[in-house]
Amino acid sequence: MLQISNLSKTYPNGVQALKDVTLNISNGMFGLLGPNGAGKSSLMRTIATLQDADSGTIVFDGIDVLTQKQELRKTLGYLPQEFGVYPKVSAEEMLHYIARLKGISNDKERKELVKALLEQVNLYNHRNKYLGGYSGGMKQRFGIAQALIGNPKLIIVDEPTAGLDPAERLRFNNLLSEIGENIVVILSTHIVDDVNELCNDTAIIASGRVVQRGNPEDLLNGFKDKIWSKRVAKDEVARYQSEYKLVLSKLSGGKMVVHIYSDTDPGNGFVAENATLEDIYFANIS
In contact, 217 and 248? CB cutoff 8 Å: no
Task: Decide which of 214, 239, 265 is a domain's last residue.
Answer: 214
* Same-domain check for residues 186 and 278: no
Give the pLDDT of the chain (286 residues) as one tens digit per residue. Answer: 899 999 999 999 999 999 999 999 999 999 998 888 889 989 999 999 999 999 999 999 999 999 999 999 989 998 887 777 788 999 999 999 999 988 898 999 999 999 999 998 889 999 999 999 998 888 888 988 998 898 899 999 988 887 778 888 888 888 888 887 789 999 988 888 888 888 989 999 989 999 999 988 888 888 999 999 999 988 899 999 999 999 999 888 778 999 999 999 999 999 999 888 888 888 887 6
In contact, 227 and 59? CB cutoff 8 Å: no
* Same-domain check for residues 7 and 63: yes
Q: Is 62 left (phi over 0), alpha (psi -120 to 50) or beta?
A: left
Which amino acid is located at 153 in the chain?
K
pTM: 0.83
Q: Give CA separation, 124 vs 81, 142, 168, 182, 211, in Å.
A: 24, 10, 16, 24, 42
* Same-domain check for residues 203 and 252: no
* Same-domain check for residues 205 and 74: yes
**Cβ-based neighbour number of residue 76 at 10 Å:** 21
Distance CA(210)–CA(38), nearest Å, equals: 10
Task: Decide which of 214, 247, 275 is a domain's last residue.
Answer: 214
Distance CA(187)–CA(177), nearest Å, equals: 11
**Cβ-based neighbour number of residue 208 at 10 Å:** 23
Q: Which class for 12: exposed (0-12), middle (13-18), buried (19 or more C-beta within 10 A)?
A: exposed
Distance CA(231)–CA(212), nearest Å, equals: 28
* Same-domain check for residues 229 and 202: no
Distance CA(191)–CA(63), nearest Å, equals: 31
| Residues contacting residue 239 through CB under 8 Å, at least 6 positions apart | none
* Same-domain check for residues 45 and 182: yes
**How would you list the strands of the sheet with 184-189, edge to edge?**
76-79, 154-158, 184-189, 28-33, 201-206, 209-214
Predicted local distance difference test score (pLDDT) of residue 22: 97
Our CA angle for 189, 194, 195, nearest 5°, is 75
* Same-domain check for residues 199 and 259: no
Q: Which domain holds residue 196?
A: 2-214
* Same-domain check for residues 22 and 46: yes
* Same-domain check for residues 131 and 262: no
* Same-domain check for residues 139 and 227: no
* Same-domain check for residues 234 and 202: no
Predicted local distance difference test score (pLDDT) of residue 171: 82
Distance CA(94)–CA(86), nearest Å, equals: 8
Task: Decide which of 196, 214, 232 is a domain's last residue.
Answer: 214
Predicted local distance difference test score (pLDDT) of residue 239: 92
Predicted local distance difference test score (pLDDT) of residue 216: 86
**Cβ-based neighbour number of residue 273 at 10 Å:** 18
Predicted local distance difference test score (pLDDT) of residue 5: 97
* Same-domain check for residues 257 and 192: no
Predicted local distance difference test score (pLDDT) of residue 156: 93
| Count of the separate structural domains present in the chain | 2
State the virtual CA torsion across 118, 124, 129, 132 in degrees, nearest 10: -40
Our CA angle for 276, 280, 286, nearest 5°, is 135
Residue 126 sits in a domain whose CATH number is 3.40.50.300
In contact, 155 and 77? CB cutoff 8 Å: yes
Predicted local distance difference test score (pLDDT) of residue 17: 95
